Amino acid sequence: MRRSFFEASARDRLLELVDAGSFRELIPPEARVSSPHLAMLDQPVAFDDGLIAGAATLDGQPVLVAAQEGAFLGGAIGEVHGAKLVGLIERARAERPAAVLILFDSGGVRLHEANAGLIAVSEIIRALLAARAEGLRFIGLIGGSGGCFGGTGLIARCCDALVMSEEGRLAMSGPEVIETVHGVEEFDSRDRALVWRVTGGKHRYLLGEAGALVADDIGAFRAAAIRLLDAPAGLSLDSVEREHALLAERWRRFGSCDDAPEIWRALGVPPGEDVAMMSAEDFVAMAQRCIGRPA
Amino acid sequence: MERLQYELESRGAVAVRKPVLVGVTASGNCEVLVEGGGAPDRCAIDVQTSARGFGEIWQAVLRDFGERHAAGGLKIEIHDVGATPAVVSLRLDQALEAWEEGDA
């Protein structure tokens, strides 16, 4: 039976993604390591500060895994939330698991915590890149209601590979931020079709940013994560320079496009293909056929 | 934010379990942490809620809960962001179910 990744809580997602009964939580809720900043602001806290972290197995292989709870303050990264993720990454450098899985669901920095949240994002990125340089594999999974924006979007793009559903969204500035800064004529954040086609998983897959596009189903995310356990991992100067060259080429080809479908046409998606209405399976088959995305 | 503390009489709950957490600290929702180790015929409940001035309603919802379930010996903590009484009751039912299954 399909179980929606989008609708599930972070805790439920994580427990169903990894092998049944294998999850061992680090700093569990009863440890009560929650945000001191929110307490000072007299705001309700979460026992786990919106980040669940621990060790598990995936298809029998040891992994470390973290999940952000998008319903708690938009999954935003505060000091404790960030420190738990940094701690998990540092632990991975010592334990050398088959992969670190991060279930992103976050709008970025937690504004209540300001500089502490910003510092947390930079610490996460530094730890993640150091771990990748040592050959550790990072797999990000994006399919939650909060999407993956701001500093969390930066962290996600530092992973080796991303698994997304169409419902999962990934970008730097979120739709409301763009509208606030540049006006509704530039970007109408309430136009859901616009938001999904510009930031959604299908667009990210066509651009090559998401390595796998799956249906909104925890089982499909699990299967994709298992396949990625064997994918190449690592970070070198060569791979960074290749990525920069790809980004420069993308800007050259698509910098003048006004909307995502123009980019899809330029990539080779025929005008008759109704990308938004396709199932994940049909969409991936089309992308492989029409624009040569590898299977 | 308001902090409310209650102690209910209740029948003895299923013995020692690992702590369980259900729900999320989110708008219209609450998270409920259940731990053992209290006096066997009492249930201690600690509520942090963003909505001030609803102490009597909390009292009524929790009294019903104590009568409905064997919650003696349990210590319950709730982080609430304006969940309605019905949502709170359902979360408490879910928390007790998870406690009794011992695998939340």
Q: Which domain holds residue B20?
A: 2-101
pLDDT of residue A71: 97
Chain A residue at shortest CA distance from B18: A30
Å from B85 to nearest chain A CA? Answer: 18
Q: Are B6 and B42 in contact (CB under 8 A)?
A: no
Decide if A47 touches B, using CB distance below 8 A. yes
Question: What pLDDT sits at residue A205?
Answer: 96
Greatest alpha-carbon pair distance for chain A in Å reads 56
Per-residue pLDDT, averaged over A47-70, amounts to 98
Q: Supply the range of the domain harboring residue A62.
A: 10-170+209-235
Task: Tell me whether A44 touches chain B (CB under 8 Å).
Answer: yes
Query: A45 vs B48: CB contact, 8 Å cut-off?
Result: yes
* pLDDT over 90, % of chain B: 81
Q: Hey, what are A75's tokens?
A: 């999954």
Overall number of domains in chain B: 1
Q: Flag whether pLDDT at B9 surpasses 80.
A: yes
Judge whether A152 lies within some domain. yes
Distance from CA of B72 to the nearest CA of A (A): 19
Amino acid letter, residue A291: I
> Does any domain span residue A130?
yes
At B58 the pLDDT is 97
Helix %, strand %, coil % of chain A (to 5): 45, 15, 35
The enclosing domain of A85 has a CATH number of 3.90.226.10
Average pLDDT over residues A131-148: 97
Span A12-35, average pLDDT: 97
Mean pLDDT taken over chain B: 92
B49 CB neighbours in chain A (<8 A) are 44
CA dist., res. A65 & res. A98, Å (int): 11
Residue with tokens 């994006």, as numbered in its chain: A142
CA distance A77 to A90: 18
Nearest CA in chain B to A72: B26
**A290 inside domain:** no
User: Looking at B1-104, which runs of residues are DSSP E strands?
Assistant: 2-9, 20-23, 30-35, 42-49, 75-80
Confidence of residue A295 (pLDDT cuts 50, 70, 90): low
CA B6 to each of CA A82, A84, A211, B103: distance values in angstroms, whole numbers, following the listed order: 34, 32, 51, 26
Lookup result for tokens 């949240």: A117
Flag whether A140 is in a domain. yes
Which amino acid belongs to residue A160?
Answer: D
- The answer to whether the Cβ–Cβ distance between B21 and A48 falls below 8 Å is yes
Which is nearest to A260 in space by CA: A187, A197, A174, A210?
A: A197
The percentage of residues in chain A with a pLDDT greater than 70, rounded to a whole number, is 100
Q: What is the CATH number of the domain that holds B37?
A: 3.30.230
Instruction: Please name the member of B1, B19, B31 whose beta carbon is closest to the beta carbon of A46.
Output: B31
Q: Cβ B25–A46 below 8 Å, yes or no? A: yes
Is A285 among the domain residues? no
Q: Is it the case that residue B103 has pLDDT exceeding 60? A: no
**Domain total in chain A:** 1
- How far apart are the C-alpha atoms of A110 and A268, rounded to whole Å? 39
User: What does the pLDDT read at residue B102?
Assistant: 76
CA A121 to chain B, closest CA, distance in angstroms equals 22
**In terms of CA atoms, which chain B residue is nearest residue A11?**
B22
Provide the shortest C-alpha distance from residue A58 to chain B (in Å). 19
Domain assignment present for A158: yes
Provide CB contacts within 8 A for A243, sequence distance 6+: none
Domain assignment present for A186: no
| pLDDT tens, position by position, A142-179 | 999 999 999 999 999 999 999 999 999 999 999 999 99
- With contacts defined as CB-CB under 8 Å, which chain A residues touch B1? 42-44
Contact A45, A39 (CB under 8 A): yes
Average pLDDT, rounded, for chain A: 96
> A196-237: per-residue pLDDT in tens?
999 999 999 999 999 999 999 999 999 999 999 999 898 999
Minimum-distance CB partner of A44 among B21, B35, B81? B81
- ipTM score assigned to the predicted complex: 0.92
Q: Which residues of B touch A43 (CB under 8 A)?
A: 1, 50
Of residues A42, A46, A72, nearest to B1 (C-beta): A42
- pLDDT above 80 for B14: no
Tens digits of per-residue pLDDT, A14-23? Answer: 999 999 999 9
Q: Mark yes or no for CB contact B19/A48 under 8 Å.
A: no
Alpha-carbon distance of B50 to A44, in angstroms, equals 6
- Chain B positions in Cβ-Cβ contact with residue A33 (cut-off 8 Å): none
Structure-token pair, residue A274: 């109704």
Q: Considering CB atoms only, which of A30, A46, A71 is closest to B79?
A: A46
What does the pLDDT look like over A65-98, one tens digit per residue?
Answer: 999 999 999 999 999 999 999 999 999 999 999 9
pLDDT in tens, B23-56: 999 999 999 999 998 888 999 999 999 999 999 9
Would you say residue A292 has pLDDT above 90?
no
